[in-house]
Structure 1
Amino acid sequence: MYYLSRDLYFPPVTEASPEGIVAIGGDLSPERLVLAYQNGIFPWFDDEEPIIWWSPPQRMVLYPDELKISKSMRNIINRNTFKITFNTAFKEVITNCRNIKREGQPGTWITPEMIDAYFELHKMGYAQSVEVWQDNVMVGGLYGVDLGHIFCGESMFSKVSNASKMAFIALTKKLKEENYRLLDCQVHNDHLASLGAREIDRSEFIKIVTN
């Protein structure tokens, strides 16, 4: 297992463990986070653990052209029940992602340290958010890291039915309009699979990220 020093370096993802751990340790400085995402790596760890850096052998992604919107979801969109904004309340979005209770999960990987780190990335223009509003109240949203040709999704939340789907769909449509190559969803999730996301080999993902 590779342990990071203060140097801004990650080993090749081909040296990751079978489950996809690339390295352990280091810090969440903006420079290291940007380097990680540019190399197909992301941090994911519990509060009691050291920082763990991942690049899974199978990567869940959505190609914007493959977005699936159900008939019922199209009806909800057409009702204009929700208002969508971009980058108007980043810290509120990431804080909600941390605090929302998720079925089957006792806690969250979004530590206060991570909130501070991604807020710094947001101020630098890398980390971005999508907000979903209903009656002027934020009811859903998502955030991630924007690499210019790929958006690396990190987390989303929903306080009412379909709010996170609205954020995901709005983001995907925006990425398609701006000719992004894909939306990175990291690991398999049935909810995202229902929206068109699928797994590809890490080698294929890395080629897209680095070109």
Structure 2
Amino acid sequence: MRHPIEPPPTPWELPSREQLAALAGEDDLVAVGADLAPGTLLAAYRRGLFPMPEPPRLRLRARAEQATVGWWCPAYRGVLRLDGLRVSRSLRRSVRDFEIRVDTAFEEVVEACGDPRRPGAWIDGGIREAYGELHRLGWAHSVEAWRDGVLAGGLYGVAIGGLFAGESMFHRVRDASKVALVGLVDGLSDARAGDRLIDVQWATPHLERLGVEEITRRDYVERLPALLAVPLPPVFVHPPVGG
């Protein structure tokens, strides 16, 4: 069994956790630029940032046609505590209809999450390539719900210590993405380890029904050092693809 491989450090100067904690106001987009190299992505997550394309309406005229990386740290962060997941009776029944697998179809999960037909689709080729490289290094993971040998839904994100930074989820069969989330919580739960947390970026009514809550930007970034010091869950400690 192998742990994730640390890439070369980022050459970019990203906002520090202290700077992010001190931010006033409710702007969620806090920086633009840099790149999506593995070292940059990991440095960002360790500070409380995650990347999404900068909205076109916010781009400068001089680069209006250029897709620019935006770095986000929401004023109110959606998080799921492992003991806060709400599993309804119907969802509990659905869990029995699926098989949970980890990292057996990472690229297919990311591609499904990035389907351009989905409302608000934002996952482009650059994002897919960047997270594919993180996956090969052992940092990005997929949790998949399979039924009758067919991928029915799933989610992907980045695992660093006790933090799982969720990026996106999808379903092709009713409840499949919820079942994948249940599988993620089960995989992260380990009484021998310290506290763990799932970051879902923003709380939506759908996620709130599953137990997601909001905490302030300051609370989130101040919790990161303790979370990052927690051992990586065994479910994510395995040879990188091709290893």
Deviation at 1:207, TM superposition (A): 1.5
RMSD (CA atoms): 1.8
1:86-143: CA deviation from partner (whole Å, max 9, x where unpaired): 01111111011111743xx2x5110100000000000111101111111111010100
The residue aligned with 1:203 is 218
CA distance in 2, matches of 1:118, 1:180: 25
The residue aligned with 1:135 is 148
Residues 25 and 75 in structure 2, CA contact (< 8 A), matched pair in contact too = no
The residue aligned with 1:111 is 124
The residue aligned with 2:12 is 8
CA distance in 2, matches of 1:183, 1:131: 16
CA distance in 2, matches of 1:180, 1:85: 23
Instruction: Tell me whether 1:34 sits opposite 2:49 in the alignment.
Output: no
Secondary structure of residue in 1 paired with 2:153: strand
Q: Which runs of 5+ in 2 are unaligned?
A: 1-9, 57-65, 227-243
TM normalised by structure 1 equals: 0.89
Secondary structure of residue in 2 paired with 1:9: coil
Residues 16 and 23 in structure 1, CA contact (< 8 A), matched pair in contact too = no
TM normalised by structure 2 equals: 0.78
Identity of aligned residues (%): 40
Instruction: Tell me whether 1:44 sits opposite 2:44 in the alignment.
Output: no
CA distance in 2, matches of 1:208, 1:176: 18
Deviation at 1:8, TM superposition (A): 2.3
Secondary structure of residue in 1 paired with 2:141: strand
CA distance in 1, matches of 2:43, 2:182: 27
The residue aligned with 1:149 is 162
Q: Which runs of 5+ in 1 are unaligned?
A: 1-5
The residue aligned with 2:107 is 91
Deviation at 1:203, TM superposition (A): 1.1
Tell me the matched-pair count: 201
Equivalent position to 2:72, from 42, 54, 67: 54
Deviation at 1:34, TM superposition (A): 0.3
Instruction: Tell me whether 1:189 sits opposite 2:209 in the alignment.
Output: no
Deviation at 1:17, TM superposition (A): 6.4
Q: Which aligned runs of 4 or more in structure 1 are off by greater than 2 angstroms? A: 14-18, 46-49, 177-180
What residue identity is the alignment partner of 1:192?
A: L
Residues 68 and 195 in structure 1, CA contact (< 8 A), matched pair in contact too = yes
The residue aligned with 1:123 is 136
1:142-165: CA deviation from partner (whole Å, max 9, x where unpaired): 000001111000000000100000
